[in-house]
Amino acid sequence: MKKLLYIYIIVNSLASFSQKEETDSIPVHIDDYVFIKPGDTLTISLNEFSLLPNHKFNNKDDVRYYLWFRRKVLKTYPFALLASKRLESLILRLDKIKSKSKKRKYIRLVQNYIEGEFTDQIKKMTTTEGRILIKLIHRQTGKTVFQNIKFLRSGWKAFWYNTTANIFKLSLKTAYHPKLNNEDFLIEDVLQRAFQDGVLIASSSKLNFDFSKIIIEKKGSVNVEQYKLMFEKIKKKQKNKKKKE
């Protein structure tokens, strides 16, 4: 119960934000970028960064998908950052409170604050945003959501929370591996550039990876094929639905 706050904003809202389909469209305009030509480099029109290589896209369409994904990361990161900060402050405060009843009262007060301030926004998240949030929680805390729930609430509770998440094609066991997973690489790429650009508050990961080495290996290439396929499936689903109507 000591760290109950941590899972509150994730698990309590999981079913709600996971049911929302990816109905938002990819960006039509790419004014924030300078596109050279297919297969060439693409640079950010803001300050150039010496530590990060220019992006390399196959075509203009890929740029639009990357910008769509970038928007998702920028939206979810603040929630992951908040969760980790609230958890740390809660633990520090609870360590100083001796009375069990006062500890419970303090937890409830913070929970009410989180619910009133952020829950409605989290409920509006799409499945992709929910998946990104779960991964970012792992990045910020060093533990997956499942691991934290297991530690806080018992293995049985963690099992059922994960089962519920799977119904909505999400897993609380999802880990964050920028070196091994393409989506995680894209998330970290967006974060690092946003940190340097001052768009997001910088925060180092509690996981052990060196992104400077990972991005050098990638040579600036960006792979957004999984999102193209996702939108194709959504279009087919919408077409079939119209036919039935």
What pLDDT is stored for residue 112 in this prediction? 66
pLDDT at 41 (0 to 100): 43
Mean pLDDT along residues 179-207: 95
From 21, 60, 11, select the one nearest 159 (Cα to Cα).
11
Reported as a single tens digit per residue, the pLDDT across 42-56 is 444 444 444 788 899
Put residue 110 in one of left, alpha, beta given phi > 0 → left and psi -120 to 50 → alpha: alpha
Give helix 127-141 / helix 182-197 axis angle, nearest 10°: 70
Residue 84 has pLDDT above 50, yes or no: yes
Lowest mean pLDDT segment, chosen from 44-48, 50-54, 162-166, 230-234: 44-48
The per-residue pLDDT for 29 is 54
pLDDT at 10: 54
Which residues, listed in sequence order, are joined to residue 42 by a DSSP beta bridge?
35, 55
Give 25 or 30, the one with higher predicted confidence: 25
For the ranges 12-21, 147-156, 218-227, which has the lowest average pLDDT? 12-21
Alpha-carbon distance 138 to 145, whole Å? 7
pTM of the model: 0.78
Mean pLDDT of the chain: 78
Of the listed ranges 5-14, 105-114, 198-207, the one predicted with least confidence: 5-14
Residue 82: which residues within 8 A CB-CB, separation 6 or more? 9, 118
User: Per residue in 65-80, pLDDT tens?
Assistant: 999 999 999 999 998 8
pLDDT bracket for residue 205 (50, 70, 90): very high
Q: Judge whether 64 and 48 are in contact, CB under 8 Å.
A: no
